[in-house]
Amino acid sequence: MGMISDRTAIAIVGPTCSGKTKVGIELAKLVNGEIISADARQIFKLIDIGTAKPGLQDRLEIPHHLVDILSLEDQMSAGEYAVLARRVADEIFARRHVPVIVGGSGLYLRALIDGLFEAPEIDLSVRRKLRDRQSSEGADTLLEDLRRVDPAAAVGLIPQNYKRIIRALEVYYSSGRPISELRRECPSAVDFSTFQFAIHYDRKLLYRRIEKRVDEMIQSGLVEEVKGILHRGFNPGLNSLKTTGYEEVIGFLQEKIKFEDMVSLIKMNTRRYAKRQMTWFNRDKRIVWVNADEKSSREVAAEIYGHVCNKTCGSG
């Protein structure tokens, strides 16, 4: 079997419920790999069922990094994640193993794979004005402004991405230059190459997988998990709990919605999230989409391994 070239990582991306976790584990077995999670929610402790974290047995079999490292009260920006994940990747390379990056958090992945630019100093009065406008006029108005001054940065954004919208606008109004332009000029700080693969399912099949997973999460005790978190005294308004599955269960526990409505909302919001993820990853033409219809995780992993080997494997 060929050996993956030095300082080459493999990323398994794609929408939620596409089987990234299982494919990543199977691929790690093939390439002598260790998994770096690129999931902005699996990074938190206690939220296990609703984030579909890999099980304990999987984590014992294949080393997993950046899972369960933050308290629910903590926060981690994409930049902070990238610094930490790059350090982990270097440690994996030092062990002569292959980093297998697995996750669907597009911003985390981009920061890790492409590097970050050093942002210009922000005028705090600009930031305050933008936040005031978001409160009074809504994020839709800010998104329209961003489309006007920096259309490249606005691609794929929706009003719910208001933090990223404000970030791009504050850079523009503070520096006079679009954030997309500054990113292009930034020399990459990344000193390894990454092959990116996305797992594709027929949309109807993917949505059926989503519905099945939501039902399984409920049966596995998602409501009880959230109840336990709230009983520990965590604020239900924490950013970490503003996560599909958790927000809806909190609404149910607070008697704002009925159980049946909670389940329907989780399914609907998960489908919407999957659609946004597909839009995000479809924009990156470096990503190779691998069809997973009627294939096992092992078969998909073997196909990905074949792609990589054709490009980079030497004898060994």
**What tens digit of pLDDT does each residue of 114-170 get?**
876 666 788 889 999 999 999 999 999 999 999 999 998 898 788 888 888 999 999
pLDDT at 25 over 50: yes
Phi, psi of 19 (to 5 degrees): 90, 25
Coil, strand or helix at 22: helix
pLDDT of 186:
63
Express each pLDDT in 288-306 by its tens digit: 999 999 999 999 999 999 9
pLDDT of 121:
82
Q: Which residues pair with 70 in a beta bridge?
A: 44
Percent of the chain exceeding pLDDT 70 equals 95
What is the rounded average pLDDT for all residues in the chain?
A: 92
pLDDT of 120:
77
What is the distance between the alpha carbons of residues 8 and 2, in angstroms, rounded to a whole number? 14
pLDDT at 1 over 60: no
What is the distance between the alpha carbons of residues 115 and 191, in angstroms, rounded to a whole number? 9
pLDDT at 189 over 80: no
Write down the domain spans for the chain. 8-116+188-312, 124-185
Query: Domain spanning 8-116+188-312: which CATH class is it, in words?
Result: alpha beta
The domain made up of 124-185 has a fold known as Histone, subunit A (1.10.20)
Q: Which amino acid is at 186?
A: C
Q: 196 near 11, Cβ under 8 Å? A: yes
If you count them, how many residues does the chain have?
316
Phi, psi of 253 (to 5 degrees): -65, -30
pLDDT of 296:
97
pLDDT at 3 over 70: no
Buried b (16+ CB within 10 A) or exposed e, 151-187: eebbeebeeebbebbbbbbbbbbbbeebbbbbbeeee
Prediction pTM value: 0.79
> How much is the average pLDDT of 93-116?
93
pLDDT at 312 over 90: no
Both structure tokens of 233: 């005294």
State the DSSP H helix or E strand holding residue 12, giving kind and residue range, or none if neither: strand 8-13
What is the distance between the alpha carbons of residues 67 and 65, in angstroms, rounded to a whole number? 6
pLDDT of 242:
94
Percent of the chain exceeding pLDDT 90 equals 80
Express each pLDDT in 146-159 by its tens digit: 999 999 889 878 88
pLDDT at 216 over 60: yes
The position carrying tokens 């099945």 is: 212
